[in-house]
Structure 1
Amino acid sequence: MSHSDLQVAAPPRLFGTDGVRGRANAQLTAELALRLAAATAEVLHTPSSGNARPTAVVGRDPRASGEFLEAAVCAGLAAHGVDAIRVGVVPTPAVAFLTADYDATFGVMISASHNPMPDNGIKIFGAGGHKLDDAVEDRIETAMETVETMKRPTGADIGRLIDAPDAAARYLDHLAQQVSTDLSGLTVVVDCAHGAASTLAPLAYRAAGANVIAIHAEPDGLNINDGCGSTHMDKLRAAVAEHGADLGLAHDGDADRCLAVDARGEVVDGDMIMAILATAMARAGSLRDDVLVATVMSNLGLHLAMDKAGIELRTTAVGDRYVLEELRRGQYSLGGEQSGHIVVPGAGTTGDGILTGLLVMEQMAASKQGLADLASIMTVLPQELINVRVADKHAVADAESVRDAVSVAEAELAGEGRVLLRPSGTEQLVRVMVEAPTADAAHGIATRIADVVAAAGS
């Protein structure tokens, strides 16, 4: 099997693949947050059923900057006639769930996910907790230009701020309903990344019966993702060994991701988790059309494992929004990314790291197998990734020398590897990724192609 693809980045826009991001109080200011909230209120202003005014669920992760950004977002919403339902510090998937559960008009999550503490971001969910499509985001971005001249409500029509003390309990009840197998007997170490899952992940896992050891679960507003969580797995691996745990689970700052560690300390990435869940769902008859959706960055080992299991693997561009679009288009039941962003549409509208952890442990308990045995369904092929700085990343796409180099490499791999070229979405870089049967082969082929890309892009 071989695969090559060269994606061309879209023109820059305020909304990236996962909301509006930037350094808090530098690019992402209170003024920008207020204007964004006001424009969103104007574009998505339809009152939800049973409410006189539109409503919006507003949540955040524990970053210090989330406090002033939440205030700005709520001010922008209320000033434009939207009631803001404040749910406090909760995971991103909780905001998506609560948007539907409260029958809100839309939801707003303030988080920069796995990024360092100085960054922050604003994600918007439409009715039902679904991510917005590009056209709606473009309408919001356009509306931001006229916020100052918009007619604003007065008197009783001004939006109100409503605190929702039952929000966390609603989300935890939802998670509990997704797992039917008692997890008693499993000991799990959970790395909460000092993030939004610090309280709720241990509660959810304990409620399902697991013995839970929580680490990095003391957020102070400044320590989110700091040397911990799904982007820094070494401390979790050490903790699993220290406690003799059955597995470890690592979340990111907003808990929409989950990576795992088996009892031996080996990392089980998103591809392996998808392989475990997809095959289990296929056996149970709950994998719609026997299709799994992943991005082009998923390891070729996942393609091979799914082919052997009789499961069709459909690939999308990089970014969870593209996985979500394909899942909704085909009404498929499982998708995700190598990074651990796993989506189970039957249980939620976006990736949910805590849910993923529960589902992984459910498979361990139901099968009475260790995580290493479950993950052995997939063999990860060695991968080499080289970032090549070029003068014009788009010009490389048309370079005959680059296409020739890719063709030669694919012939050399003879179906036992693949080549992927992908321009960076934010920098003048072309990412060269090669997977091959051996690490030496992957390194040699990737280096050779990278040299051609550098020459073509200089």
Structure 2
Amino acid sequence: MGKYFGTDGVRGRANEGLTLDMSIKIGQYLGWYYGKEKHAKILIGKDTRLSGDMFELGLAAGATSMGAQVYLLGVCPTPAISYLVRKERFDCGIMVSASHNPYYDNGIKCFNHNGEKMEEELLLEVEKYMDGLTDLDLVTGDHIGEYFEWEDGLEIYMSWLKECVPVDLSGMKILCDLANGSATSTVVETLDSLGATVEAISNSPNGININNKCGSTHPEALQRMMREGDYDIGLAFDGDADRLIMVNSDGELCDGDYILYICSRYMKSVNRLNKNMVVTTVMANLGLYKALDANKIDYIQTAVGDKYVFEEMQKNDYYIGGEQSGHIIFLEHEVTGDGLMTALKILEIMKATGKSLQELSEGLFIYPQLLKNVTVKDKNACLESKELQEVVDSVAQDLGDEGRILVRPSGTEPLIRVMVEAKTDELCAEYVKRVTDFLEANNF
């Protein structure tokens, strides 16, 4: 990771950690880089947070000052940018969003011409320009670029989704939590056009209510309404609509592990699970692995981050992978997670099988999980400690086949993360405490 760009773009508090000047510089470099032989063609989208306009226009101003032709998609899901860059042959795409963060944060995610996250080598060159280590000449005269508001883009994206999953949703009652974010631009219209009866909450963005006590990170209101109402399924999206968390008719949460289980079983039953493989991160629940074993479905683990899931899928042509957070990739169709695509896949399975979410989830027992962070002075020295490894090994031995322990460093903070899964919450707490007590007592 570079100075500004992490695994999911640049992110920070608007006009503090992430400034207008930074967005202009990013737009300028990408406009110059892709415009060496012709006018660059760049697509920009945003979510609903207040600072989105500022960063969208900053990126556009920077890119057009280098001669780029910029198309503004407006409020849209991140996966719409990824798809449309490929479909309409843009040189690159940029999404202004801080995903599930509060409204006062924002972020800039960059995609290459294939709709994939931009290469780290190029982002490092962008950072050099942002820091004033590279000089570029602005274009003049008739070489200056223009920007256009592209009204047809979302229609193209939604039409494509329905072509990928042409399911008739007549008779289905769906409750959606749109997080007052990007999902407000596509979800209701798409599901309604497929015949569903759709009701939406958190569907009135005002710039500051995105992710505020709503969406995939705060689904409590959705759960309550599912218990009280008569709905087939509840769908909760995050701020930029690339993740999905489901709620069944009993008000119970079904996260990304449930989605991977349900979809992989169905894909196997219809011979669409390429190489019989599911890609997860190391944070997937032990219960998912046991359930996949029971269904004779293979799996492989990656480091935490959808970037690593995608890399593994792309390298080996695996068709499904994802994270507990509900960021699921269906490689047959897309190169990034897409909450609405995931919802359509689940709805397709419910219609094809005639089963509820509860019935589709049978055979999956999610082990209680506890994660605790411990602040340390030196993450590397801590993880290299033989004494720590002995404590971790003793916990693993006590857990046996009925649990697991994972100790790993934070990627961005001076923290060691201790995660335990066991058959009860009490056992999780006991085993996590054994490790965290050791860390705190030894003052690494």
TM-score w.r.t. length of structure 2? 0.97
Distance 2:36 2:402 in 1: 52
Relative to structure 1, the CA distance from residue 46 to residue 442 in structure 2 (aligned partners, 3 Å threshold; closer, same or farther) is farther
What is the Cα deviation at residue 452 of structure 1? Answer: 1.4
Matches of residues 333-348 of structure 1 in structure 2 within 5 Å?
A: 333-348=319-334
Q: Which residue matches 1:210?
A: 196
Q: Which residue matches 2:279?
A: 293
What is the Cα deviation at residue 147 of structure 1? Answer: 7.5
Distance 1:24 1:358 in 2: 34
Q: Which residue among 189, 197, 214 is the counterpart of 2:175?
A: 189
> Deviations for 1:166-217, whole angstroms, at most 9, x for unmatched residues?
0110111011112133111211100000001113111111122211111100
Distance 1:33 1:311 in 2: 44
In the alignment, is residue 369 of structure 1 matched against residue 359 of structure 2? no
Distance 1:242 1:177 in 2: 34
Give the AA of the match of 1:64: L
What is the Cα deviation at residue 46 of structure 1? Answer: 6.2
Give the AA of the match of 2:20: A
In the alignment, is residue 139 of structure 1 matched against residue 129 of structure 2? no
> Deviations for 1:85-130, whole angstroms, at most 9, x for unmatched residues?
1111001001111111211000000000000000000000001211
Q: Which residue among 11, 23, 27 is the counterpart of 1:37?
A: 27
Give the AA of the match of 2:278: L
Other structure's SS at 1:385 match:
strand
Relative to structure 1, the CA distance from residue 59 to residue 401 in structure 2 (aligned partners, 3 Å threshold; closer, same or farther) is same
> Deviations for 1:221-271, whole angstroms, at most 9, x for unmatched residues?
111001000000110011222321111000011000000000000000011
Other structure's SS at 1:56 match:
strand
Contact 1:390 1:429 in 2 (8 A): yes
Give the AA of the match of 1:142: K
In the alignment, is residue 222 of structure 1 matched against residue 208 of structure 2? yes
Give the AA of the match of 1:88: G
Contact 1:61 1:253 in 2 (8 A): yes
Contact 1:38 1:147 in 2 (8 A): no
> Deviations for 1:398-457, whole angstroms, at most 9, x for unmatched residues?
111110011111111112211111211222211100111222222111110111122334
Give the AA of the match of 2:51: S
Contact 1:434 1:442 in 2 (8 A): yes
Relative to structure 1, the CA distance from residue 40 to residue 377 in structure 2 (aligned partners, 3 Å threshold; closer, same or farther) is farther
Q: Which residue matches 2:288?
A: 302
Distance 1:402 1:46 in 2: 54
In the alignment, is residue 245 of structure 1 matched against residue 231 of structure 2? yes
In the alignment, is residue 15 of structure 1 matched against residue 5 of structure 2? yes
Considering Cα pairs closer than 8 Å and 6+ residues apart, tell me whether 1 or 2 has the greater RCO: 1
Q: Which residue among 306, 318, 321 is the counterpart of 1:332?
A: 318
Cα RMSD after superposing both structures: 1.5
Q: Which residue among 374, 377, 394 is the counterpart of 1:391?
A: 377
Matches of residues 8-157 of structure 1 in structure 2 within 5 Å?
A: 13-45=3-35, 52-146=38-132, 149-157=135-143
Contact 2:372 2:432 in 1 (8 A): yes
Give the AA of the match of 1:202: V
Distance 2:256 2:366 in 1: 12
Other structure's SS at 2:131 match:
helix
In the alignment, is residue 452 of structure 1 matched against residue 438 of structure 2? yes
Contact 2:75 2:185 in 1 (8 A): no
Other structure's SS at 1:414 match:
helix
Q: How many residues of Structure 1 are paired with residues of Structure 2 in the alignment?
A: 444
- What 5-or-longer segments of structure 2 have no aligned partner? none
Relative to structure 1, the CA distance from residue 386 to residue 372 in structure 2 (aligned partners, 3 Å threshold; closer, same or farther) is same
Distance 1:322 1:44 in 2: 26
Q: Which residue matches 1:168?
A: 154
What is the Cα deviation at residue 387 of structure 1? Answer: 1.1
Give the AA of the match of 2:272: S
Distance 2:119 2:365 in 1: 35
Contact 2:321 2:329 in 1 (8 A): yes
Contact 1:247 1:371 in 2 (8 A): yes
TM-score w.r.t. length of structure 1? 0.94
Relative to structure 1, the CA distance from residue 390 to residue 243 in structure 2 (aligned partners, 3 Å threshold; closer, same or farther) is same
Other structure's SS at 1:452 match:
helix
Matches of residues 374-453 of structure 1 in structure 2 within 5 Å?
A: 374-453=360-439
Quick check: 145-154 or 88-97, which moved more?
A: 145-154
Q: Which residue matches 1:5?
A: none
> Deviations for 1:363-396, whole angstroms, at most 9, x for unmatched residues?
1111101111112231101111111122222221
Contact 1:393 1:423 in 2 (8 A): yes
What is the Cα deviation at residue 148 of structure 1? Answer: 7.1
Distance 1:233 1:165 in 2: 31
- What 5-or-longer segments of structure 1 have no aligned partner? 1-9
Relative to structure 1, the CA distance from residue 147 to residue 177 in structure 2 (aligned partners, 3 Å threshold; closer, same or farther) is farther
Contact 2:112 2:119 in 1 (8 A): no
Other structure's SS at 1:59 match:
strand
Q: Which residue matches 2:241?
A: 255
Distance 2:124 2:277 in 1: 31
Q: Which residue matches 1:7?
A: none
Distance 1:457 1:184 in 2: 60
What is the Cα deviation at residue 45 of structure 1? Answer: 3.9
Matches of residues 262-301 of structure 1 in structure 2 within 5 Å?
A: 262-301=248-287
Distance 1:427 1:136 in 2: 25
